[in-house]
Chain A
Amino acid sequence: MAVNILTQTTCYHCGNDCDKDHYVLDDKDFCCTGCKGVYKVLSNSGLCNYYSYNEHPGATRTHVEKRFEYLDDPSIIADLVDFTDENITILTLYIPYIHCSSCIWLLEQLNRFNPAIYYSRIDFLKKQVNLRFNNKEISLRQVVELLVDIGYEPLINLQDVIKKQQTGAGDNLVKKIAVAGFCFGNVMLLSFPEYLGLSEYEQTFRHFFGWLNVLFSLPVVFYSGREYFQSAYTNLRNKILNIDFPLALGIAVLFLRTLIEVLTHAGAGFADTLCGLVFFLLVGKFVQRKTYYHISFERDYRSFFPVAVQAVDNGIEKPLPLSALKVGQRIRIRSNEIIPADAILLNGEARIDFSFVTGESAPVTKVWGEVVYAGGRQMGEAIELEVIKPVSQSYLTQLWNNEAFSRSQDNRMQTFNQKVSKYFSIVLLMIALGSLVFWLPVDVYRAFSAFTAVLIVACPCALALSTPFTMSAALSIFDRNFFYLKNTAVVEQLARINTIVLDKTGTITIGGENGVSNNAQLSSYEEQLIYSICSNSAHPLSIQICDYLQGADKLRVSNYREIAGKGITAWVDGHNVQVGSQSFLTGGVDIAKSTEVHLMINGRYAGYFSFANKYREGLEDIARLAADYKIYLLSGDQDRERKNLLPYFKGEGYMLFNQSPQQKLDFIKALQLAGKKVMMIGDGLNDSGALKQSDLGIAITDNVNNFSPGSDAILDGRSLRLLPAFLKFSKDSITIIHISFFISLCYNLLGLSYAVSGRLSPLIAAILMPLSTATIISFTSIATHLAAKKRKLS
């Protein structure tokens, strides 16, 4: 025994235990033929260095059965490739498994497998490989099959095909920052002599520096800062005063005053403040923009469905792109494939797992002539179907025709910034005009000087920066805890939520796992007894026990009696068998914490089965939120688990079962109409509508690379327990924004006290602006990290 433990073998390729099956090649252990196959391919090409960079770099290959015939179809090839001519094809593939340096090394050696692949480059963060190959010597399908053979299966789906065509150019933000930074540095250098004071005979330099400063300001205003003018203009036309208005006003006034002062030799102008302002604003915009290359928030049914199906015409199978699938077409669906359109079953026995579509966790059996809805996954043998509705109009995909999907969703709630900047702009204009009117009778020059100085000094640079810097710091903290937010505005939405709606299957339960553990020592005959009695019951625990004891022979059962909520009793093959709760068997009290099923055979206690909590860790913590939030359960499943879940929710009224995708959406809408701010947490396609309709939709997933429905945020299942902390932390972030807003107001007031008197020197402006910016940036990032520590977020 001891020897066995010491020499417990792990797979050389993927690191799994080799306890079930064990294969040996070149003195190396493998857990399955798949892993061994990959090793063989690699060793034949002399690429075993793959294993020297990292231990067990491979993916387990225990169940891989994919066909890529559809990649021979010219129309699909045309959609997939970036470029192709008669010789070369350039192609970018997304490979979710890329995770370590070995992956980079191996995938960049593809040309040693086949010299027809000239070039392969990995983008590690995007998990993409860029390939160039000679399409006369190797086909696209062969390239993909080669990748599959070495354990790197690319993910090819309809949406990625479409996404490629939509990718447009960015807005050159980096270039704008580069220009602004370049000008800012030079202007600072040229302004320094002015700060230190120039003597009388150096006046010619002053004009020279002044002109150079104006020259440097030109690209800053007209290239880097242009979008502020555009945004302010469009917003004004829509009668909205947003933060861009005072910013654009500040930039314009700074530039005009600098130009006039330099032209009239009246002073040095404010070119340094101007360039610094635009530079910092753009940097703020940059940090706010966080991209998760490996995560997509916009997925819909198209990325869930396959690219092609096997069509059957007169007994001949051939791959057909999904877009060409027509009503009446016969298709063949193999085990583990997804049914892409509503269809009638023609041939074979269908056992279909609809858990992703309806939330119903038990597979559904369909027989000849029944309608099978799109989105189900066939679990049994291969089946033949006839399509009755096009892909886009099936029961499932119809949900995407709902208006919730067509309206733009970016700002469902007004952010703090938007609310404040309206009043800020009005007050700012009033102070500026007030000082103009005040000084006008005394001194015209001073009046305009004061007017412009107010607009300059009150330019809400720090205010505009407080939100992006706080939010980007918050985002990176969420990110570290496996909670991925689409953008920074989501943090504010998170803070304003007062109602939480949870999906059941896959969201609070862990899908597909049966954690039955056997605490009874049963002989195989006794197992048969238990199996026989349990197979008569439809109770979920009985079904789970049957699954666990799979393959036992069924014995004759008589006098079967089921007492709801307690257990079952019967005579099996001449033995009295009782199965149920502890209190049911022994008459005592239930002392067990977890779910247990106890067994009694002929009056002798025979042990029990215990069931691991199928609910995700942290459900209790979420239940404890009930004091501050209304929490609902919204499930597409039957209400079998109503009793088990009741302790977590306030009452029966807070738990809804048997909800169709459309009903889910409508329920969220009803809550919103009642003035609630709703957060929906779901995982399946059936939640897509609800996620979209809600004020904040969170998709929960166990693997961020897998499919998750379109949402505002994606949460890794492991971090569900942190949800209360996330909610509190988001509120902290908002508080931090409020405080930093107050700080920037103090700076503004300080500057205004100089400005209204009309005596704002360029030096003071040039010091105040960067100083306030630096204060805000350091305050927000330090405070955000402290808040995260307080909420015990790493």
Chain B
Amino acid sequence: MNIIYFLIGCSVLLALVFLGAFFWAQRNGQHDDLYTPSVRILLDDEPTDKDKK
């Protein structure tokens, strides 16, 4: 059963990684604008000059 010590250590470590990732995203401004990216992704790429030829 001592494996539990190891497993709990792993799970806490993993959770800490996610918490760190969240903090990083927060500091990086990824949560500043939660709406515009959802529109932006639907905009097509430019029909470039190649299409015209």
Contacts and interface: CB of A to CB of B under 8 A. Distances in A.
B39 A49 contact: no
Contact of A174 (B15, B16, B31): B31
Contacts of B40: 104, 108
Interface residues of A, number: 26
A185 interface: yes
A175 B43 contact: no
B42 A101 contact: yes
A104 B15 contact: no
Given A185-B15, A186-B15, A104 B8 contact: no
A186 B22 CA distance: 16
Nearest to B22: A178
Interface stretch (A121-129, A247-255, A473-481, A632-640): A121-129
Interface residues of B, number: 26
Contacts of A49: 44, 46-47
B15 to A, nearest CB: 6
A234 to B, nearest CB: 28
B36 A104 contact: yes
A182 B43 contact: no
A189 B11 CA distance: 10
Interface in A118-145: 121-126
A205 interface: yes
Contact of A104 (B4, B18, B39): B39
Contacts of A186: 11-12, 15
Contact of A124 (B35, B44, B46): B35
Contacts of A109: 46
A746 to B, nearest CB: 36
Nearest to B47: A49
Contacts of A208: 5
Given A175-B26, A182-B15, A125 B43 contact: no
Contacts of B36: 104, 121-125
A667 interface: no
Nearest to A102: B43
A14 to B, nearest CB: 21
A124 B31 contact: no
A179 interface: yes
Interface in B11-53: 11-12, 15-16, 18-19, 22-23, 26, 31-36, 39-40, 42-44, 46-47
Contact of A123 (B4, B26, B33, B44): B33
Contacts of A123: 32-33, 36
A202 B1 CA distance: 9
B18 to A, nearest CB: 8
A124 B4 CA distance: 49
A105 interface: yes
A416 interface: no
7 contacts: A101-B42, A104-B40, A123-B33, A125-B33, A186-B12, A205-B1, A212-B12
Interface of A: 49, 53, 101, 104-105, 108-109, 121-126, 174-175, 178-179, 182, 185-186, 189-190, 202, 205, 208, 212
Given A101-B43, A186-B11, 15 more contacts: A104-B36, A104-B39, A104-B43, A105-B43, A109-B46, A123-B33, A123-B36, A125-B33, A125-B35, A174-B26, A175-B26, A185-B15, A186-B15, A190-B8, A212-B8
- Going nearest first, the 6 A-B pairs with the smallest beta carbon separation are A124-B36, A123-B33, A182-B19, A105-B43, A101-B39, A125-B35
